[in-house]
Amino acid sequence: MSDEARGVALVVAGVASAQFGAGFAVTLFDELGPGGAVFLRQGIAALVLVAIWRPRVAGHARPDLRLAVAFGITLGLMNLCIYEAMDRIPLGIAVTIEFAGPLAVAVIGSRRALDLLWVALAAGGILLLADPGGGSLDGIGVAFALGAATMWAFYILLSARVGRVFPGGTGLALAMVVASLLTAPIAITQAGSELLRPELLAAGAAVALASSVLPYSFDLEALRRLPARVFGVLMSLEPAVAALAGLVVLGQALDTLEWVAIGLVVAASIGVTAS
């Protein structure tokens, strides 16, 4: 198998793992709250990644360490925002709105008129889902999803830089430690002693593996093998896979208009990255 084919397989596997892991994480919100769930996910993922990669702070220049810290803050805020969104609105809708982030990265700086068409198409899909003034969606949930979109844009920009500066997954391991420290106070406030229950720790470990360890590691490796355009096209599957995960894991059925809106965002993302 060629390097490019391996990269494609890594992205597709990472997308499926992340979204079905997110669906499973939602089932923990009653006991842990979004903050507790995201902390267990990131904390356990940090332990796994540190054990595997054994990152060392010594020997790295300060700008490189600042980059890892910025990446960690981005990861922590992105995951916290999307979990808070998924606590209030359906998984597929939350991830589709969140996808405005990577789409924005794809079109920033473009001077092609065609890209304006793709932006309009995506904006139309997101507006259909958000339903401003309609009252069918929780406004705070939509706001959290838009916050996650902003953080996802920064994640894409920082991820490639971290992959170049740090060998293997060492940069990701350092960043995950930072993300865990960032969300710990919120987790303690929302979940308290529930964080120590063995069955919830086991569930958090499963979420950490599916939602953080595997997809983020796959992303870093895929970005070493694939052009950004191909990576972006494949990541365009995220909203549709999230909607499917919401249906299968959580029973969140979407109506025809919502599926059409998700399709508009996926088509716009594929169009802007492919062209």
Q: Which residues of 249-274 are buried (b: 16+ CB within 10 A; e: fewer)?
A: bbebebeeebeebbbbbbebbbbbbe
The answer, yes or no, to whether residue 96 has pLDDT greater than 90, is yes
Strand boundaries in the chain, DSSP class E: none
Phi, psi of 60 (to 5 degrees): -100, 140
% of the chain surpassing 90 pLDDT: 59
Q: What is the pLDDT of residues 197-216, one digit of tens each?
A: 999 999 999 999 998 888 87
Query: Length of the chain in residues, anyone?
Result: 275
**Tokens describing residue 187:** 């987790």
- The whole-angstrom separation of Cα 44 and Cα 202 is 10
Domain ranges of the chain: 3-274
Q: What is the pLDDT of residues 17-48, one digit of tens each?
A: 999 999 999 999 999 999 999 999 999 989 99
Strand, helix or coil for residue 166 = coil
Q: What is the pLDDT of residues 111-168, one digit of tens each?
A: 677 877 888 888 889 888 876 656 678 999 999 999 999 999 998 889 889 988 998 8
DSSP per-residue letters across 72-109: HHHHHHHHHHHHHHHTTS-HHHHHHHHTHHHHHHHHTT
Q: How many helices and strands in the chain, by DSSP H and E?
A: 13, 0
